[in-house]
Structure 1
Amino acid sequence: MNPVEPTLLEWKNCIQAALQFKEKRCWTWITDEMIFGVQNPEDGQIGYCCVMGTSDEMAALSIHLGSEGLEGLQRIRREDLLAEEFMHIQYGLILSFESKELLEEQEITLMNLLGWQGGRQGWPCLRYFEPGFVPWFLNGAQVRFMTIALQQVIEIAESFRFRPERIRQAGSSYYLVRTPLLQNGRLIWTDRWLEPKPVVRTPLRAVRFDELRLRKLQKSLPKRLGVWELDYFYSPIPMRGKDKPYYPKMCLILDHTSGQILLNHLAETADDRSEFVEQWLEMMLRLQGRPYTLLVQRSEVMDCFGAAARVLNVRMERSPQLLYLEEVKMNLYDELAPF
């Protein structure tokens, strides 16, 4: 999307639409199971909308961007996720209504410029969620789409007020989508039933390592050091990025018997997968030994370390739980996470 900042008029239109959404109280007849789409007239992307709320204070709207965003929403619904996992699989725009104390100073300044005279509760809060990044302020294109989506959510809510169950067909892979057509300089909106496009996944970087070096390492490290637990994940501490703060990846390796932390490394480069394998090799050199087995939970980690592990004659196994590693990870997030 266009990174240009929203104009004051764009913000005014968006905040007005947000307040209209709240006034309609459509969450009283539309549940968060009734997902429907709104197509962005600027780029054609579909935002899958989820109306949430049990009261005026708890009202919210999440707009999950494209098939990737919809897949993230589906994972949230079917999986028992930790707080940090919940944040890093969301891809979309979220409107909520918060107390004034939870807003940033620039948001309060904006609302004052717009003449907002709200009380302590119910201040519109708009955020862009992207995996790996701190939830951030909306840019101009995102504000425009949020405005349009809010208007169309209200339209759908009114159209289906007395038959909301028709918004979502049980068992169907098709979604109701509001689609725009430009006629005589005006947008005409129609309802269509569309199947989401397949998710296009960005290929992961190939892990780089020197196979000859690994074969020499295997011969020079005959000592076996038991079973290790291994995982990498987003760090709980954000770092300053070019446009907005981001969460670098962190790699942990623990001894499966004692729980001792053998490696705790924060990625310093964009090629974090190769960096983690290199750190693992350096760690084995320091310890003068290699494990019999590496226990991992996720296929992504298996793919990252698998080729190097085979050369080193280290077995890799999938495990449903990594008890010591999960405990350390939980403690890290409890102590350091800003959410």
Structure 2
Amino acid sequence: MNQLNATSEQWKSLYEAAAAFKQAECWRYATNSHVFGVENPFNKEIGYCCILGNGGEMYGLAVYLGTESLETLLSMLNRTQETDPMFSQHCLMLSFESRTELYPAELKQIKELGLKFRGANAWPTFRLYEPGFVPWPMQNEEEVQFLSLALEQTIEVVEAFKNNLDAIFIREDNVFLTRVSEGDRQNLVWTDQWLKPKILEKATEYQANPIDEIRLAKAKKMLKGFVGIWEVDCFFAYIPIDEGQRPYYPMMGLIVDQESEQILQFGLTEKSGIQGKMAGLFLEIIEKAQVVPKEIWVCREEIYHYLKQILISFEIQVCLKSELAAIEDARVEMMDYLIDRI
């Protein structure tokens, strides 16, 4: 998608689609488990729609973008999600909120468009959710246009199936009811198809930037011996950092001595920099303490890849565990420490 901002006409269309969606009260008929797809005519990606409001708490529509996001949604519905959804969701979301929940820019836009809303669960918000970022008001014109189309097609699906919505539950062959369009953008013709999600491309190999071999050699020369076990992990921190155009959640790297539960090293960085950050933290503590652990324990394979060059150089063993007790205690301690200083 390009990064052009949506026009006033495109925003008007989106607010109109939101109003029609609210008037249709799609949540009266569908639960968040009635998942279906809408093809984006601009890039052919499938957005998987989840109607919110049947439980009477939050009203709106979430459109999960692509297969990976669909898997996140299904894991949440099946209660198998290991990562906090705040850090894993990638979706466009309409929700109806109170006025106090809107950003100043959203209120300004509503005023400029000459729209008026009043009361709780009455103010439309259109947010982009991306892993590692604070949910943020949508701006991109193709996102605005696609959410408009998704709302329109959601109304069509509910109207067509409202007497038997369970017919659109996921079938045993893992296909989803998907609204697919033909024609140009001004004259789209929509039809129903039952489609399997696209196969995810193989994930790129986790790789930190190469570490200077001379630096490694110097650290090895200064070594005084081996110690016990270090637990190593990284995770999103619940502390938004407001830098640049959009606040983000940093990732924290943490290294803890298993026996003493002492925090040996920690650091914060953007998600994109976590590979290099983890390698840097690990080597820094080796240089400072002049010891290396006999083993490290990790609960995710990617941690091994972040540290691979160092681990091979110092002949450190790695154990993959389902949980890390010392890390978990340290995580709580660090979060309390950082939150107290906000």
TM-score, scaled relative to structure 1: 0.90
Opposite residue 93 of structure 1, the aligned amino acid is L
CA contact (8 A) 1:211 1:311 kept: no
Assess, with a 3 A threshold, how the Cα gap between structure 1 residues 55 and 20 changes in structure 2: closer, same or farther: farther
Assess, with a 3 A threshold, how the Cα gap between structure 1 residues 233 and 57 changes in structure 2: closer, same or farther: closer
CA distance in 1, matches of 2:217, 2:149: 59
Percent of aligned positions that are identical: 33
Which residue is 2:121 aligned to?
121
Which residue is 1:289 aligned to?
291
Shifted more, 72-81 versus 7-16: the winner is 72-81
**Equivalence map 1:227-242=2 (5 Å):** 227-240=229-242, 242=244
SS of 1:19 mapped into structure 2: helix
Shift of 1:23: 1.9
CA distance in 2, matches of 1:32, 1:11: 26
CA-to-partner distance for each residue in 1:306-330, whole Å, 9 max, x for gaps? 3421321211111222123223324
CA contact (8 A) 2:30 2:54 kept: no
Shift of 1:6: 1.8
SS of 1:258 mapped into structure 2: coil
Shift of 1:65: 0.5
CA distance in 1, matches of 2:150, 2:101: 24
Shift of 1:266: 1.9
**Structure 1 unaligned blocks of 5 or more:** none
Which residue is 2:89 aligned to?
90
Which residue is 2:204 aligned to?
203
Assess, with a 3 A threshold, how the Cα gap between structure 1 residues 183 and 292 changes in structure 2: closer, same or farther: closer
**Equivalence map 1:129-148=2 (5 Å):** 129-139=129-139, 140-148=141-149
Which residue is 2:100 aligned to?
101
**Structure 2 unaligned blocks of 5 or more:** none
CA contact (8 A) 2:254 2:265 kept: yes
| Equivalent residues, number | 336
**Equivalence map 1:29-108=2 (5 Å):** 29-54=29-54, 58-81=58-81, 85-108=84-107
CA distance in 2, matches of 1:184, 1:95: 22
Note the aligned Cα RMSD (angstroms): 2.5
Which residue is 2:20 aligned to?
20
Shift of 1:102: 1.2
TM-score, scaled relative to structure 2: 0.89
Assess, with a 3 A threshold, how the Cα gap between structure 1 residues 276 and 55 changes in structure 2: closer, same or farther: closer
Assess, with a 3 A threshold, how the Cα gap between structure 1 residues 333 and 162 changes in structure 2: closer, same or farther: farther
CA distance in 2, matches of 1:176, 1:269: 34
Opposite residue 42 of structure 2, the aligned amino acid is E
Shift of 1:90: 0.7
Assess, with a 3 A threshold, how the Cα gap between structure 1 residues 323 and 172 changes in structure 2: closer, same or farther: same
Which residue is 2:322 aligned to?
320
Shift of 1:232: 1.3
